[in-house]
Amino acid sequence: MKIAIIGVQHGHVLGITRQIIAAADTELVVVAEPEHGARERVARDLGVPGISDYRSLLDGSIDAAVLAPINAEKGDIAVACLESGVHVMIDKPATTTHADLDRMSEAISGSAILSCALTLRFSGPYRAAKQAIARGDIGRVVSSVSQRPHQCRPGRRPGWFFDRELNGGALLDLCIHDIDMVRWIHECEPTSVTASEGTSRFTEYPSFTDHAEAYFRLDDGGSAFVRASWLTPDAAPYHGDCRMLIEGTHGSIEIRTSAEVSCTIDTGRSRCTYTDFVDADPGGNALGRDFIAAIRGEAHPVISGDDVINSHRWALLARDSADRGNLVTG
């Protein structure tokens, strides 16, 4: 299976690609990126040729592509690949507009597989929580609260990152992880959302949003609140203190994944904290294995094309709510 990288605007692409090419019978053959310096650096590091225009690859030259261009360009490139029969693994966010998401939704009806680096579905603490819920440890899930603070470090970011039209904003770039977890952990869909975005620290970038929050009502009567930011101090020894608190009818679960990695299950009668998740993702390649197994028809994907579409749909609706200042329904 021949793999290409299309776009190297975020360092995530290297880890994602290495996971995919760790699978048997896969080969990275080319890096496509219009920015010369970034293209040559990645192509040299990976030992493959670099080209500026990906479109020449859509003639059957490749079987799959890992996408990490500028966020606003992802939707158009993903659709072109999918319509050409090229399987797509895309870094988050998968798109920044409803129009591109609609086109992607149509394109996944063909033969090509779409997946996205919604990596929390493979995270040990989240998987432990999912298993505890399936066992009935905390009863029926009623509500959840998530926070995802990150360090920004502007000097390490490209200029487009601070342009909301190109980046998509914090609700898409950061909250997408937790919005996907709401759908996965609660095992139901949102029905409405109210949200806000703002800039408190990095005010030198007029359109950049450095914090965002969204409140969802769910179709089973439950609720979820997600919050994310670029406000973790530069001096912090961790990228952020990411957490999720899940409340059920008979107990609760607290997940931590950054400053600490743990899953605490509290049923009232007992309280257990798990910190060893080595067996949850042997080799750290679960995202890549899931993608390749789906392409080969060996297993139903943990992240399906429909999951990519539905989670991004609600992230976009949350951004609509932030822009309009009102409740948005699906």
pLDDT for 132-153, tens place per residue?
Answer: 999 999 999 999 999 999 999 9
| pLDDT band at residue 319 under the 50/70/90 scheme | very high
Model confidence at 279: pLDDT above 70 = no
* CB distance 246 to 137 below 8 Å: no
pLDDT for 59-83, tens place per residue?
Answer: 999 999 999 999 999 999 999 999 9
Domain match, 276 and 241 both: yes
Of 90, 112, 134, the last residue of a domain is 112
* Cα separations in angstroms, 16 against 7, 66, 116, 268, 288: 13, 8, 10, 40, 7
Residue 151, Ramachandran bin (φ over 0: left; ψ between -120 and 50: alpha; else beta): beta
Q: Work out the angle at residue 116's Cα, subtended by the Cα atoms of residues 289 and 89, and round it to the nearest 5 degrees.
A: 65
Domain match, 130 and 74 both: no
Terminal Cα distance for the chain, rounded: 38
Domain that holds residue 239: 124-281+303-329
Of 87, 112, 137, the last residue of a domain is 112
Q: Distance between CA atoms of 315 and 312, rounded to whole angstroms? A: 5
**CATH number of 34's domain:** 3.40.50.720
Q: What is the DSSP letter of 282?
A: G
Give the DSSP letter string of 60-99: TT-SEEEE-S-HHHHHHHHHHHHHTT-EEEEPSPS-SSHH
pLDDT for 194-231, tens place per residue?
Answer: 999 999 999 999 999 999 999 999 999 999 999 999 99
Q: Do the domain assignments include residue 287?
A: no
Number of folded domains in the chain?
2
Tokens matching residue 138: 């905390």
